[in-house]
Structure 1
């Protein structure tokens, strides 16, 4: 994995925590309304795995995920890039939203890279 600054590491971990928190809240709301939660649960699982991979690579924490689980999570995260990039393009220059999206995209890219590194070993 490329050399990543401590600031980028911190921001990436924070981006994952923020996205997980928002997704957990959305899951609670969808569940209470009786809506289908299958896709959100799949995305939330991919977020948990992505965060675990960053912590594995940067903090030498152990993980319990199989190569199949990593591959599925990787595909889910990659599938989110088009919508994230589209939102990024539409957001106003210098806005907090643009900063948040840039950090989230970077975090997801690093997580995918970490997954690739772990699977190759």
Structure 2
């Protein structure tokens, strides 16, 4: 995690902040319509934890998440990879959409790596 460029770090923070914002808006809309929000709640928690792990790894910010929280968040984030990769494959080369998805994948990979390192170092 130490050899990540400042640019990739910034893009990763922005990717998480963007998907969190979109998820919060979707959650509000779903709740207003009375839709089941269980899956989105779970994903949003994983996104918050992923962002916190990057902040812990790169900005040395403390976090309050348990090992169980990290395990669950890791499972949720890695479960999103096939969907993101499918979306990436359908995006046009060089398009803003493809760039956004590539950055999101990289951010999720780095967050999972940070989780793995944190769990390994706590044992």
Pairwise CA RMSD? 0.6
Note the residue ranges of structure 2 that are not aligned, 5 or more in a row: none
Please give the TM-score of this superposition, normalised by the length of structure 2.
0.97
Q: Residues 76-115 of structure 1 correspond to what in structure 2 (within 5 A)?
A: 76-115=76-115
Q: Displacement, 1:2?
A: 5.0
Q: Displacement, 1:73?
A: 0.2
For the residues of structure 1 that align with 2:35 and 2:79, how far apart are their CA atoms? 22
Q: Residues 1-121 of structure 1 correspond to what in structure 2 (within 5 A)?
A: 1-121=1-121
Please give the TM-score of this superposition, normalised by the length of structure 1.
0.99
Note the residue ranges of structure 1 that are not aligned, 5 or more in a row: none
Runs of 4+ in 1 over 6 A off after TM superposition: none
